[in-house]
Chain A
Amino acid sequence: MTSGQPEFVTITIDGREHQVLSGEMLITAAEDSGTYIPRFCWHPRMTPVGMCRVCIVEVDTGRGPALIPACMNPVSDGMVVATQSDVTKKAQEAVLEFLLANHPLDCPVCDKGGECPLQDQALSHGPGESRFVEIKRNYEKPIPISDLVLLDRERCILCDRCTRFSREISGDPLIEFFDRGNKTQVNTFPDHPFASYFSGNTVQLCPVGALTAGPYRFRARPWDLLKVVSSSLFDTAHPRIEVHASQNEIVRYTGVDNDATNHGWLSDKARFGFEYIHSEDRLGAPLVRRKGVYEATDWAEAIDVAADRLGLIRDESGGDALAVIGGAHGTNEDAYALSKFARVALGTNNVDCRLGDSLSSHFLAGTVDRATIGQLDDADTILVWGPDLKEEHPTLYLRVRRAAQELGAELVVVHPRATGLDDVAFRKLTYRPGEGFDLVQALDDGRYPDVIEALDADNVVALIGIASHADGPHVAEAVAALVRARRGRSDLLPLNSRANTYGALDMGLAPDLLPGRVGVSQEGVGRLRDHWGEVPSVPGRDTAGILEGLISGEIRGLLLVGADPVRDFPIPALAEEALEAAEWVVAIDLFITDSTRHAEVILPAETFTEKEGTVTNVEGRVQKLNNIRPGPGQTRPDWAMLDDLAHRIGAPLGLSSAEAISKEISTVAPAYVGVSWDLLEWEARDGVVVPLEGESQLAHIPVAVATDGKRENGLSLHVARTMYDDGVRLRHSPSLSRLALGPVVLVNPLDATALDAVPGDSLRLVTVSGEGRFEMVVDEGTPAGTVYVPFNQPGATALGIDSAVEAEVADA
């Protein structure tokens, strides 16, 4: 961007003069001035290629009228454009006649029919009939090009949108044009399917019905769909989506283009993660365990049973004997209700929405120099020190990739093994899991001058998270300190998994936080007194502390809210033992899980498509979610159950509706002052970044440095999350659950040789907290000396967080 005023030029479109931005493509300039020029290949988020020619219009730039494609030609002063002239019309009709020459016209059985740009523009700009009598191209129809996407080459008009997307945007060009010429076709290389985490975007992009999505195929007709805008809770950036339902059933999500977050793109997990909503296993009634088996019951009884024991424990042993885990997958309103419930009804600060694999709550919620996602576009240097964004933060991955590839940012990636961004990074550092802190010190000592030089740029954005389970939260804070100490301006994005962690922390779902980015203290509690009454003012236990308390018996009762520590906590055995030992567990969940099956009472919850509320993303952007269907059976929103439970315990919360809760939030939570549903629904549909005014007052409490002790030899274990795992919602989404990797270990070829193992061999891995068998995959992306085990895979045993690991070939 050059500084100063934007320059305007004057062009004439169909006899009317318009002032348009100089340098803009004619197709956008015309659209902004109210004239629609047809298009197939042109897409606002991708490089123009001029493939389809339908945007051809008659243009006179002073040398006489000529036909030019509007998507490839920038406007110039004095340009005279005729979009309705006979010449233009004839040209566009001819193009459409050619594009349809091979098209099968099978619209009645095509998913795209009714929302198809080819269909629509054939009607609006086409000739109405064809002179072609030749036999059309014949292809096998349709062929699966990935586990989720099917390709019907007969329908394809070769617009290069899908191929361009995979090349330019997602960076995995596994689909391409083959046999270019008369027989050009889109396809994949034999035995190399379109295994992209972003494949579903091509379905939405395709201007014809050539690409269709397995989970949606033949499920609905577009004109029968009910639609509502919402945000995906499978991604910490909360990409905007449209939820499409047919007869109360969610049939698909589509990406909504917005500048703030996702530019319209979605990961396949965010796009196809809806099947769990209709899973047969979903709970539709409250369950109470009687004589060892769950029995469905009504709400009145379930609430009484659940609350009476919680109340009893509180009266006998005090609030410190109670705890709450969870709340990071729901809305802010539900998180607030939970936070209030814990403090007011249970009388405890033992509450945590994180599951032992996270950064400190103060670092996550209190980072004042927090970057926005949009700042990535202007960054001189981007540092990614944390999880592989492609696996865990797909929207950020696409934005960082774009910044590095298109916008000239210098990208530094630090991670124990290969990541999806390495190909666009100017510098990539790997380290042995558990030794991240040493690397920070090495950087500080000037070991990598090029990296330090890059970090000395004027404008640095650092995305910092936990790269490997073996790295403690102190590594991230050391990285933050390193970045902040450099010369220029730096902004940070602290990263965390679980989509609404940020909202949940902002609502106080941490042992040391209260709503609105306020620390637990006398002062913080005092401020809440009007709304919350007397609540404990010393910080409580985090998830690990709660689990330990359950084992030791100091904590007797636990409320689990949409959390599955037995699968999700880095040391699952500890979680299992704790839940086993717990005297009284109440769960709010969609399913019976490995964790909730320890509960005496399970209350059936609603998904985000069934309730209204707001969520807060990684940059602190608050957005509104909207419901489109009723929840099954007797499901209710969390806040309503919590209100009932509190009532029964004898400490009413006074919650009456999600919207009323949001008003309460904007009153009591300093960072949320001024945020209302009205604002989000009318003025700021893409959300607002909080705080709207002022800064968070949360004082930063650095976490203690836990020394891992450097290990000179032996293998180091790297455990990290992948996009598809055995998470509860994925497990109940058949299209996605089969994409999980399963119990695998990725090993460098050198280590494989040293272990005398060949691909497919089963390796036995032993750590201090577990052992298991994993199928070996030889992988050059994993450095020698490190073995990589994806976390929480179906059928895999968890290995804990210590990086020391023994490996050997297991007997068959």
Chain B
Amino acid sequence: MSHWSESTQERAREIIDLYPQKRSAVMPLLYLAMAEEGHLTETGMEEVARWCEITPAQVLSVASFYTMYKRERTGKYLISCCTSISCMLLGGDEVMHAVEDESGVPHGETDEEGLLSVEHAECIGACGGAPAVQVNYELIEGVTPDKARDLVTWLKKARPVVVNTDEMQELFGGRRSFDWAIPETDGAIGPFPAFQPLGTVESEGGE
């Protein structure tokens, strides 16, 4: 007896079929559970446990390790500011403070409206373009505190349906680590984007 929609269940079946053992599907299924309810709930994790034939405790053990599994409701836009070593040396903390200050949302929290969530992130793999920021996991490199404020204001005002790296890099970014060559057209919709390859989130902007 599943709490999930028929299409989510269908997707779950497809994902599980990819693995020789059901339990191996725990991570993609967690994204499904997240997409189903907007964040990861206890019911969602129990559901994943049933699908993977493991205990809810084992599911939570995985889910609580990764910061990208959100166990609390997140805003439409999730702003992640890198504060690991490279970014920190080039002013990541200041960028982080600017974002917190401009949005009024401290680390780990979401504004009342449900629009913005702010978090600091460990290295997001863009050290060459430090300091780096992500919105819904779409990357912007070479961000300054001022640009970060602009970013927050833009998100509040423009409220784009889809955020996309190229556009945001153009508007708020600085020096890039290298040219990523393949321009991204799809971008990501909030709150849990970036996993289109697994089909866990439908793209709205693509068609």
Comparing A40-48, A170-178, A221-229, the segment that makes contact with chain B is A170-178
Residues of chain B contacted by A177 (CB below 8 angstroms): 61
Chain B interface size, as a band, is: 10 to 19
Q: Is A173 touching B64 in the complex (CB atoms < 8 A)?
A: no
Residues of chain B contacted by A178 (CB below 8 angstroms): 60-61, 64
Most buried by A among B1, B55, B58: B55
Name the distance in Å between B31's Cβ and chain A's nearest Cβ: 19
Dominant SS at the B interface? Answer: helix
Contact with B along A160-186 (1 / 0, CB 8 A): 000000000000111111111100000
Residues of chain B contacted by A191 (CB below 8 angstroms): 42
Residues of chain B contacted by A173 (CB below 8 angstroms): 54-55, 57-58
Q: Is B57 touching A192 in the complex (CB atoms < 8 A)?
A: yes
Which residues 38-90 in A have Cβ within 8 Å of B in the complex? none
Q: Is B57 touching A176 in the complex (CB atoms < 8 A)?
A: yes
B65 interface hit (Cβ, 8 Å)? yes
Bound form: Cα–Cα A191–B42 in Å = 10
Residues of chain A contacted by B53 (CB below 8 angstroms): 423
How many residues on the A side are at the interface (Cβ–Cβ under 8 A)?
18
Bound form: Cα–Cα A749–B1 in Å = 10
Q: Is A192 touching B58 in the complex (CB atoms < 8 A)?
A: no
Q: Is B60 touching A189 in the complex (CB atoms < 8 A)?
A: yes
Which residues 151-207 in B have Cβ within 8 Å of A in the complex? none
A108 interface hit (Cβ, 8 Å)? no
Contact with B along A452-468 (1 / 0, CB 8 A): 00000000000000000
A34 interface hit (Cβ, 8 Å)? no
Residues of chain A contacted by B65 (CB below 8 angstroms): 179-181
Residues of chain A contacted by B42 (CB below 8 angstroms): 189-191
B106 interface hit (Cβ, 8 Å)? no
Which residues 186-203 in A have Cβ within 8 Å of B in the complex? 187-192
B25 interface hit (Cβ, 8 Å)? no
Which residues 45-61 in B have Cβ within 8 Å of A in the complex? 45-46, 53-61
Most buried by B among A188, A189, A192, A749: A189
Most buried by B among A172, A174, A178, A188: A178
Residues of chain A contacted by B46 (CB below 8 angstroms): 189
Contact with A along B24-45 (1 / 0, CB 8 A): 0000000000000000001001
Q: Is B57 touching A175 in the complex (CB atoms < 8 A)?
A: yes
Q: Is B45 touching A189 in the complex (CB atoms < 8 A)?
A: yes
Bound form: Cα–Cα A180–B1 in Å = 31
Residues of chain B contacted by A192 (CB below 8 angstroms): 55-57
Contacts A189-B56, A192-B55 aside, 4 further interface pairs with beta carbons under 8 A come to A173-B57, A173-B58, A176-B60, A189-B46
- Listed in ascending order, the chain B residues whose CB lies under 8 Å from chain A are 1, 42, 45-46, 53-61, 64-65
Q: Enumerate 22 A-B pairs (CB-CB under 8 Å) in ascending A order.
A: A172-B55, A173-B54, A173-B55, A173-B58, A174-B55, A174-B57, A175-B57, A176-B61, A178-B60, A179-B64, A179-B65, A180-B64, A180-B65, A181-B65, A189-B42, A189-B46, A189-B55, A189-B60, A192-B55, A192-B57, A423-B53, A749-B1
> What 3 A-B pairs are tightest by C-beta distance, nearest first?
A176-B61, A189-B56, A176-B57
- Listed in ascending order, the chain A residues whose CB lies under 8 Å from chain B are 172-181, 187-192, 423, 749
